[in-house]
A and B are shown apart, each in its own frame.
Chain A
Amino acid sequence: MTALFSKSVLAFSLLLGVSVSAMAQTRVDDAWVRTTVQGQPTSGAFMRITADTDSKLLSVSSPVAKDVQIHQMSMTDDVMRMGPVDSVALPAGKTVSLDPDGYHVMLMGLTGAIKEGDNVPLTLTIENDKGVREEVQVSAPARAMSSQMDMSHDHSKMH
């Protein structure tokens, strides 16, 4: 990931002749999607996002789902509440987790079952504080339901 990052930034910098610091950077780490069983039309995608300027995650799209939404889960007195949100704030330099305990990406209307070993393409649309939008491409590996939080693989890519 780091190698990929530096290389693409370097190439980009050389190409455009701009300084690295002037570029908007959003890093996506540890993205994964939960596998599904036959007939199950939805799944969740999880990741960690770090933006270098105050930004927000506006939307996510994926070719494997007809509708992709961002939902927030909250727990009060053991009652789990769920619902769609318009965006997720990404404060500068702060890593925001999209995990089963909070925000997550809902892949709805799946085109087929998501199996272990699949890589699910996700496109994140992120807007910075100046209103500039960028798209970040992520390839999220599918993981079984029962295993989570214990992987340190990094399959994310820079935009």
Chain B
Amino acid sequence: MNDFLTRRQVLTGMSVLGLGLLAGCDGSTTALDFKYGKDLSNKIMGRTFKLTDTQGEVKTLSSYRGLMPMVFFGFTQCPAVCPTALARAAQIKKIMGEDGKTLQVIFITVDPERDTPQILDAYVKQFDPSFVALRGTLEQTQHVAKEFGVFYEKVPAGETYTMSHTATSFVFDSRGNLRLGLSPSLSAKQCAEDLTTVMEVC
């Protein structure tokens, strides 16, 4: 019927047959040639995080196996780069059509003190109902940021604070290998092109 279903069916079949065959779907995590984004295929990053989703369920990278997770760090009181990145992600999904259904956007808050599960859930869902938000304790947040090489810090602003943070979107392939780093300066169309390259791997 379409590429998407076929790919999913193939993937499911392979999972049943085991890891040996799965590895055969490309062979290894050799470097990919991206047109716009940064190839992260040789980086060991973001593999062991353990965070909680807005329903209170513990999630790890393997929770999203079979999907193409795209991870973005931010906070809901972010006025500019976060809504822009999430709106771009929603647009990417649309551009990719059926293939876009495998794209799992994951928003990880760097401000767990203020971003409650309720606010996070409402925040990400307004961009696309399929988007998920993950949240950790302060320690878990530090850990996951370190794992991704993500910088974040509080910046005093009057009686409260705002935040600075890395604005890269990190993309994994469907087997959980980190593949691609997308800069906030890229357009949705450019991102979609590179994501198609990730999908071709596996």
Contact = CB atoms under 8 A, between A and B. Distances in A.
A69 B126 contact: no
A3 interface: no
A79 B77 contact: no
Nearest to B121: A37
A43 B79 contact: yes
A136 to B, nearest CB: 21
Interface stretch (A23-31, A101-109, A127-135): A101-109
Interface in B59-84: 76-81, 83-84
Interface residues of A, number: 32
Contacts of B183: 78
A contacts with B: majority SS: strand
Interface stretch (A4-12, A14-22, A88-96, A141-149): A141-149
B49 interface: no
Nearest to A102: B80
B197 interface: no
B39 to A, nearest CB: 15
Given A42-B77, A100-B80, A82 B155 contact: yes
A78 B157 contact: no
A98 to B, nearest CB: 11
A37 B119 contact: yes
B79 A78 contact: no
Contacts of A84: 155, 157-158, 162
B166 A78 contact: yes
A44 B127 contact: no
Contact of B79 (A44, A75, A81): A44
A83 to B, nearest CB: 5
A145 B168 contact: no
A111 interface: no
Contacts of B28: none
Interface string B184-195: 110000000000
A67 B79 contact: no
B194 to A, nearest CB: 15
Contact of A39 (B81, B116, B157): B116
B79 A80 contact: no
A40 B83 CA distance: 13
Contacts of B160: 67, 108-109
A34 interface: yes
Contacts of B79: 34, 42-44, 71, 73, 100, 104, 106
A144 B160 CA distance: 25
Given A42-B77, A83-B157, A146 B122 contact: no
The 4 closest A-B pairs by CB, nearest first: A44-B79, A100-B80, A37-B122, A146-B87
26 contacts: A37-B76, A37-B122, A38-B119, A41-B77, A43-B79, A71-B157, A71-B162, A73-B79, A73-B81, A75-B81, A75-B167, A78-B166, A78-B185, A79-B151, A80-B80, A80-B164, A83-B157, A84-B157, A84-B158, A106-B79, A106-B162, A108-B157, A108-B160, A145-B127, A146-B90, A148-B84
